[in-house]
Amino acid sequence: MSDELSFEARMLFREARHGLAPEHGDLARARARVRAAIAGGAVVASVASIARPAAAATSKATIIAASVAIAGAGAGIGWWATHRTHEPTPAIVAPEPAPRAPARATRVIDDAPHTTIVPSITVTPLPAPVATAPRHKSSPRAEEPVVAPPPAPPPPDVSVVDTPAVDPPAIDPLARELARVRDADAALRAGDAAGALAIVRASRDEDPDGQLAAELAAIEIDALCALDRTGDAATAAAAFHRRWPRSTLGARVRASCADPGGNP
């Protein structure tokens, strides 16, 4: 037998390299999430030096505001990405019972040092999630049932709480967009589908090509379904698939009442 792969296998790998490649928009979306996570964990001393020095003048209030927005939006995205299906999804953030973490923080990745993001900002509670499975991937409390967050939780028992000199994240368009996602998600979970719809559309008016446009569009479809506007939901879902044909949210959209998957 040859030491090389068979010709068919080599061709298969060649094709697979293309097939496994990210679609247009995938990396930008992932980058936005990475930025959000890093911004949320920017107070970790070990990574502070990597952040831009120019941001150092921003006030702590700004840091907290940005972190609140990012944390909440991260939770919202995570909730959206998973609440429609029951597939095991260990890696998506949950609405935080004790809202102190950025989007998806405090997770031991491997055995190596410095692999845990430890947020050190305590923020105000997020809106209470309603009947949503616990999703926090990293917290030791990840399996706790999700109920209304306790009021004014004590400071987290994190190892790094003595906030060093911080290069704070600025509130930029992404942070605003994240806040919109969070607000729309919270409204939807609270049963205010019309409110969620309004938030989504306001955000779209503000930035039609935002980095989280797909997430907002997905929430919009869910809101339309909640309002029994199935026709509108189907139209929105079809537009979603045209614009983001390989979005990881596509399966969730297909699982919605719009269900254009059965009628592409």
Binding residues for other proteins (CB under 8 A): 1, 3-6, 8-10, 12-13, 15-22, 26-27, 29-31, 33-34, 37-38, 41, 44, 46-47, 49-50, 81, 87-92, 103-104, 107, 109-110, 112, 114-115, 117, 137, 241, 245-246, 248, 250-251, 254, 261, 264
Beta carbons within 10 angstroms of residue 108's beta carbon = 10
Among 135, 137, 136, 176, residue whose Cα is nearest residue 39 = 176
CA–CA dist 62, 166 (Å, integer) = 12
Closest approach of other proteins to the CB of residue 239, in Å: 14
Among 168, 180, 167, residue whose Cα is nearest residue 211 = 180
Residue 31 or 141 having the CB closest to other proteins:
31
Closest approach of other proteins to the CB of residue 13, in Å: 5
For residue 214, give Cα distances in angstroms to 27, 49, 52, 185. Answer: 13, 32, 28, 13
Closest approach of other proteins to the CB of residue 1, in Å: 6
CA–CA dist 193, 48 (Å, integer) = 40
Closest approach of other proteins to the CB of residue 14, in Å: 8
Residue 128 or 170 having the CB closest to other proteins:
170
Residue 92 or 197 having the CB closest to other proteins:
92
Residue 126 or 249 having the CB closest to other proteins:
249
Residue 38 or 197 having the CB closest to other proteins:
38
How does DSSP classify residue 143?
Answer: T
Closest approach of other proteins to the CB of residue 227, in Å: 25
Closest approach of other proteins to the CB of residue 106, in Å: 11
Closest approach of other proteins to the CB of residue 221, in Å: 16
CB under 8 Å to 227, separation ≥6 — which residues?
193, 194, 197
CA–CA dist 179, 242 (Å, integer) = 26
Residue 15 or 144 having the CB closest to other proteins:
15
**Amino acid at the residue 204:** R
Helices (H), the chain: 7-19, 26-40, 45-48, 60-83, 173-189, 193-206, 213-226, 230-243, 250-254
Residue 193 or 253 having the CB closest to other proteins:
253
